[in-house]
Amino acid sequence: MSRQKAPPVYRQLADTLTDRVRRDYTAGDLLPSESELAEHFGVNRHTVRWALDELVAAGLVTRHQGRGTQVVDRRLDYRLSAGSKVTHNLAELGMASETRCLSQELEVPPGTVAQRFALQGQARLLHVKTLRYVDGSPLVMISHWFDPRRVPAWLERYRGGSTRAFLDQHYGLRLRRRQARIEALAACADDARWLLCALHAPLLQVTSDNIDSTGALVEVSMSRARADRLSYHIDFPNSDFPNAGEDFS
C-alpha cells in the first residue's frame, strides 16, 4: 500500500494564503510583510517567499519595491481597435501607467517582420523595446520595429514614454492598425524576468501592422501581456454590416 506524499510546506502555505486573499482581501490591499507571515505561520522567510512566488505566478498578487506584496486588481479589459492607444485606454479605466525604454538599436529583424516591410538581405530596422507599467506593476512588454527612414534621429530623442505620443509630437505621425493578430504563447526567461511571471506562464501576444494616413507601413509592434492580468475585446460596429440586427441563428 503506497503512501501519498504530503505537498511541501511552501505549497501548503501558498494554498492557505490563496484562500485568505480570495476571502479576506480586496484589490489593492497589502499583505503582511514576509517576516510577519513567517512569525504568524511558524515558518522561515524562505518558505514564505516561495509561497508568495506561487501567488505571484498565479496572478493573485504583485511585489512592489519598498511597498510590499499587493493584491492584484481585476483583469484589465483592453479595447483593441484600429486607433486604440494604450495610455488613453488605461486612463479611461482610471489607471496610472508608465512606459520605460528597455533598449533601442538598429538591427536585422526576424523574418516575419522583414517580410512585412519587404526588406532584402541584411537590411536593418529600428528596434525599440518598451515595458508598460500599470499602477506600478509591469503589464505589457512591446517590441516596436520601425522603418528608420520615417523616424530620423529617434535614438537621440527617445528616452521613454508613449511611443504613439512621441511619433505624433516629433514626426507628425498618427498611426493606426491595418491588421492585428492575437495568439497565445508561453513566457520565455526574458518575459518572466520583465513581466514578473513564472517561466512558461501563459501570455497573449498581439502583432500589429501600424500604418500612416497614406497607408504606408511605419511600424510592426509585438506586445506581450500576462494572460492572467489582461484580456482583449474587439467591437464590431453595426455600420459594418448591411443587415445588422438580423438574427442568423
Examine residue 52 and state whether it is found in any structural domain, yes or no: yes
Residues 211, 94 share a domain: yes
Determine contact, residues 129/101, Cβ cutoff 8 Å.
yes
Per-residue pLDDT for 113 more than 60? yes
Residues 42, 106 share a domain: no
Examine residue 114 and state whether it is found in any structural domain, yes or no: yes
Q: What is the pLDDT of residue 19?
A: 86
Examine residue 225 and state whether it is found in any structural domain, yes or no: yes
C-alpha cell at 113: 517582420
| Residues with Cβ within 8 Å of residue 155, at least 6 apart in sequence | 104, 105, 126
pLDDT in tens, 10-35: 999 999 998 888 788 877 789 999 99
If pLDDT is split at 50, 70 and 90, which confidence band does 247 have?
very low
Whole-number percent of the chain with pLDDT over 90: 58
The whole-angstrom separation of Cα 64 and Cα 13 is: 21
When the pLDDT of each residue in the chain is averaged and rounded to a whole number, the result is 86
Domain termination site, one of 71, 100, 117: 71
Q: What is the pLDDT of residue 74?
A: 58
Per-residue pLDDT for 219 more than 80? yes
Q: What is the pLDDT of residue 163?
A: 94
Residues 105, 23 share a domain: no
Q: What is the pTM of this model?
A: 0.69
Residues 166, 92 share a domain: yes
Residues 135, 30 share a domain: no
In this structure, of 84-93, 97-106, 173-182, 190-199, the range with the lowest mean pLDDT score is 84-93
Residues 169, 81 share a domain: yes
Q: What is the pLDDT of residue 85?
A: 65
Q: Find the CATH number of the domain harbouring 89.
A: 3.40.1410.10
Domain, as residue range, for 22: 9-71
Number of domains the chain is built from: 2
Residues 116, 16 share a domain: no
Determine contact, residues 147/117, Cβ cutoff 8 Å.
yes
pLDDT in tens, 187-205: 999 999 999 888 898 999 9
Q: Find the CATH number of the domain harbouring 40.
A: 1.10.10.10
Examine residue 3 and state whether it is found in any structural domain, yes or no: no
| Residues with Cβ within 8 Å of residue 231, at least 6 apart in sequence | 75, 76, 77, 78, 204
Q: Report, in this order, helix, strand and coil percent for the chain, each rounded to 5.
A: 30, 30, 35
pLDDT in tens, 37-59: 999 999 999 999 999 988 887 77
Q: What is the pLDDT of residue 37?
A: 96
Question: CB burial class (10 A; 0-12, 13-18, 19+) of residue 43?
Answer: middle
Residues 196, 121 share a domain: yes
Residue 183 DSSP SS3: strand
Determine contact, residues 48/38, Cβ cutoff 8 Å.
yes
Question: How many CB atoms lie under 10 A from the CB of residue 143?
Answer: 20
